[in-house]
Amino acid sequence: MKLIDAGPTRRREMRFSGHPISPGIGIGPVYEAAEPVLNFQHKKIAAADIAAETARLEDAISLSRKQLIKLKTKLASLPAQSQTEIDPLIDAYLHMLGNSRLIRGARLRISDSLLAPEAAVMDEAETQAEAILALTGSDKVGRQRRAEEVREIARRVLRNLTRLPFRNFTELKPGTILAAESLRPADAALIQPTNFAGIITAEGGADGHTAVMLRALGLPAVLGATGVLEAARPGMLAIIDGEAGEIILNPTARSLAAAQAKLAARARSLRALARLQKAPAETTDHVAVDLQANLELPFEVPMIAESGAHGIGLLRSEFIFMNRETLPDEDTQTQIYRDIIEAMDGDPVTIRVLDWGSDKEVEALADYTPDTAEANPALGLRGIRLLLRHPDLFEAQLAAILRASVAGRVRIMLPMVGFRSEIIAAWEIYDRVWRRLKRRNVRMMETRPPLGIMIETPAAALSARHLAKHADFFAIGTNDLTMYTLAADRSLPVGSKLYDPLEPTILRLIYETVVAAAAAKIPVSLCGELASRPEATPLLFGLGIRQFSMHGLAVPRVKRAIRAVSSKYCLQLAARALEAPDADTVRALLAQT
C-alpha cells in the first residue's frame, strides 16, 4: 500500500499499535520504502496463450482481493475514527479489483492486443490515470489522488504477477522512519540501521524471521500495525515506541515531549545496563549461566563483545546466501566464517548450516527449491531436509566451516531436524568432508568441531532422548517449536493470541529436551526469541537452561534478570509453570517475580 500524498498534512494525532519488536524510541518523518523497480517486460503473447495468460491475470486479481479483504478484517480492531478514514479507501481498491474499467480494459488488452498481463494491467492503469488527470474542475488534489489509486492497485496486481526481488532503501533520507506493508527477511537484511530512526510495517509477527532480522539491526521497530500505512502521508512526523509497540502519527506537542522524556530515560537505563557488561551472569546464589549472542548479519560482530556476551550461540548463515544472484562459493564462505570466528577471539561460535525454505527465500537458490509449489511451505522442504537433497551445497558449506575452524572454537548445527535418519545422513556427509580435507592436509580445528542439532520441531523434542545419541549438543529453537506445536504461524498479527511460547505445552517440551540432554550428558542451549525476554529468564533457568543465546542488545537485560533471582526461586517457579493450565497463568506467575 503506497503512502498517498493527499495534499496538506492533516494535523490530528493518530495512534496505532502493533508487535513491539525492538526497544527504543524513534522520532522522524515517515516514508515508504521505494517500490522495487517494476521489472517486467512489455511482452506480447501468442494467440494460443490468451486463455492461460488471462487466467494468470485473474489469479493475481483474486490474490490482490484476498490481501485487501484480510486488511479490511484487521481494520476492525482499530479505533472507530481511524476506521472511517481507511475503510473507504480499501473499498475503492476492492471496487477497482472487481469488474471495473481497469480490469475490463486489462483483459481486452490481453485478448485483443495480445499483451502479456503485466503490460496489459500497467498500460491500462496509466491510460486511465492520465484520463483522470486530464479532467478539468477545481478538485485537482482529488483527481491526483484518484489517479494514484488506480496506479497503486495496478502495482499491487503487478506485484502479484511478478515476484519482485527486493526493495531499494537507498533513496530514503537519513533519520526517516521506514514504513512498508510487509518486509521479507531478505529486505530487512538490506537495511542500513544508521540511516533510519525506526521501522514500521502493517504486516508481520513478533517472532517471524523479519522480526528476528530487525531486532538484529537494533532499530526501534513495530510490526503488524494495521491501518498505519493508510493513515500516514509521506513526510508526516511519527513517533514509534518499539518497546510498547506504539506508533503516533502527527503527534501533539505533548506527545512529542513525552517521547523525548522516554528517550532520555532510556539513555539513562542503557548507561546503567552498560555497567553490567563485566558483571558475572549468575544467580544470587552464584549459579552461573552462559550468555551468548545470535548473529544474523556480520555488522553485529563488534556489538557482541560490547553486550557482554561470550560467543555466538547461533550464527544464522542465511545472510551469506541472501540478496545475491549467484551462490557464494566455498572460498567466499570460508573467508566470511573465518572473519567472524577470528573477531570472536577464542569465544565459541556455533554456525548453523543454511536454513532456507518457507519464509526464508533465497533468490540464488531458486533452482534448488522444490519443483512443485508447496501448499504449506513451512511444512515442506526446509532446513536440513533441503540440504540433504542437495549434498553439493551442504558439502561446500561444511567444508568452508571446517576450513575456517582453524581460526577458533567452532560448533556446527543442523536446522529443522525431525527424524533420527536426518542426523545420521548428515553425519555421513560431515565425515566424508572431514576425511577429504584431512587427506588434503587442510588446517582445521584440532579436534573435529561438534555437530549438534536444533530442537525446533515437536518431533525432535519428543524424541530428544533418541536424537541425543547422535548429536553432540542441542539448541532449542522456541520460535519454530512454538509454531509447529501450537499450529500457529510465528508471523501471526498482534492479538491473534495463537502463537505463544509461554504456553505450558512449549515449556514441557523444553523441559523434556533438557532432561534428555542431561541424561546423555550433552550440552543444551536455548536460542529462540524467548531467550531474549528477561521476564522469562528465571523460568527458563528453572527449566534447566544454563546457556542462552539471543540478539546482542538483549544480553544486559537478561543478565540483570538472572542476577536478581536465586536458583531455588527459579526451580519453584518452573515447577509451578509446568503445571499451569495455560499461558496466561504462566504470565501471572512471571509477573510475581
CA distance 405 to 442: 11
CB of 533 to ligand PEP, least distance (A): 13
Among candidates 467, 570, 482, 458, which has minimal Cα distance to 517? 467
CB of 528 to Mg ion, least distance (A): 7
Nearer to Mg ion, 276 or 459 (CB): 459
Among candidates 293, 433, 423, 290, which has minimal Cα distance to 350? 293
Interacting partner of 478 out of ligand PEP, Mg ion, none (Cβ under 5 to 8 A depending on kind): ligand PEP
Cα–Cα distances (Å) from 38 to 2, 67, 158, 171, in that order, read 14, 19, 8, 16
CB of 482 to ligand PEP, least distance (A): 8
Q: Is 500 in the site for ligand PEP (CB under 6 A)?
A: no
CB of 361 to ligand PEP, least distance (A): 14
CB of 446 to ligand PEP, least distance (A): 29
Among candidates 157, 209, 220, 155, which has minimal Cα distance to 186? 209
Interacting partner of 283 out of ligand PEP, Mg ion, none (Cβ under 5 to 8 A depending on kind): none
Region binding ligand PEP by CB under 6 A among candidate stretches 159-167, 332-340, 441-449, 476-484: 476-484
For the window 572-591, what string marks contact with ligand PEP as x by the rule CB under 6 A? Answer: --------------------
CB of 479 to ligand PEP, least distance (A): 3
Q: What is the DSSP letter of 278?
A: T
The correct pick among 103, 177, 212, 384 for binding ligand PEP (CB under 6 A) is 212
85 contact partners, CB below 8 Å, separation of at least 6: 230, 231
Nearer to Mg ion, 480 or 529 (CB): 480
Q: Is 355 in the site for ligand PEP (CB under 6 A)?
A: yes
194 contact partners, CB below 8 Å, separation of at least 6: 174
All cell numbers assigned to 559: 543478565
Nearer to ligand PEP, 90 or 312 (CB): 312
Interacting partner of 212 out of Mg ion, ligand PEP, none (Cβ under 5 to 8 A depending on kind): ligand PEP
Cα–Cα distances (Å) from 352 to 246, 293, 480, in that order, read 34, 13, 15
Provide the annotated active-site residues.
209, 527
Nearer to ligand PEP, 319 or 541 (CB): 319
CB atoms within 10 A of CB 80: 6
Q: Is 547 in the site for ligand PEP (CB under 6 A)?
A: no
Q: Using H for helix, E for strand and C for coil, what is the string for 458-520?
A: HHHHHCHHHHCCCCCCEEECHHHHHHHHHCCCCCCCCCCCCCCCCCHHHHHHHHHHHHHHHHH
CB atoms within 10 A of CB 460: 29
Nearer to ligand PEP, 477 or 493 (CB): 477
- In degrees, rounded to 5, the angle at the alpha carbon of residue 494 between the alpha carbons of residues 362 and 416 is 40
> How many helices (H) does the chain have, and how many strands (E)?
23, 16
CA distance 449 to 467: 18
Region binding ligand PEP by CB under 6 A among candidate stretches 46-54, 458-466, 472-480, 578-586: 472-480
Kindly tell me the sign of the dihedral angle through the C-alpha atoms of 568, 478, 270, 351: positive
Nearer to ligand PEP, 230 or 296 (CB): 296
Is residue 13 within 8 Å of 251, Cβ to Cβ?
Answer: yes
CB of 527 to ligand PEP, least distance (A): 5
CB of 484 to ligand PEP, least distance (A): 9
Interacting partner of 242 out of Mg ion, ligand PEP, none (Cβ under 5 to 8 A depending on kind): none
Q: Three-state DSSP class for 121?
A: helix
For the window 265-304, what string marks contact with ligand PEP as x by the rule CB under 6 A? Answer: ----------------------------------------
Nearer to Mg ion, 480 or 500 (CB): 480
Among candidates 333, 352, 349, which has minimal Cα distance to 341? 349
Q: Is 176 in the site for ligand PEP (CB under 6 A)?
A: no
CA distance 593 to 579: 17
Q: Three-state DSSP class for 293?
A: strand
Interacting partner of 160 out of Mg ion, ligand PEP, none (Cβ under 5 to 8 A depending on kind): none
The correct pick among 316, 338, 403, 533 for binding ligand PEP (CB under 6 A) is 316
The binding site for Mg ion (CB under 5 A) comprises: 456, 477, 480
The correct pick among 241, 480, 500, 503 for binding ligand PEP (CB under 6 A) is 480
CB of 212 to Mg ion, least distance (A): 9
Interacting partner of 384 out of ligand PEP, Mg ion, none (Cβ under 5 to 8 A depending on kind): none
At what angle are helices 555-563 and 253-274 packed, to 10 degrees?
70
Cα–Cα distances (Å) from 242 to 199, 549, 575, in that order, read 9, 21, 32
The correct pick among 307, 334, 479, 491 for binding ligand PEP (CB under 6 A) is 479
Nearer to Mg ion, 305 or 462 (CB): 462
- Cell numbers 503516533 correspond to 248
CA distance 401 to 340: 11
Interacting partner of 452 out of ligand PEP, Mg ion, none (Cβ under 5 to 8 A depending on kind): none
The correct pick among 281, 295, 527, 545 for binding ligand PEP (CB under 6 A) is 527
CA distance 562 to 566: 8
Q: Is 456 in the site for ligand PEP (CB under 6 A)?
A: yes
CB of 13 to ligand PEP, least distance (A): 36
Q: Scan residues 85-114 and list those touching ligand PEP (CB under 6 A).
A: none
The correct pick among 201, 210, 405, 478 for binding ligand PEP (CB under 6 A) is 478
- Cell numbers 530487525 correspond to 214
**In the complex, residue closest to Mg ion by CB:** 480
**In the complex, residue closest to ligand PEP by CB:** 477
Task: Kindly list the residues in this chain that would bind ligand PEP in the complex (CB under 6 A).
Answer: 212, 314, 316, 355, 456, 477-480, 527-528
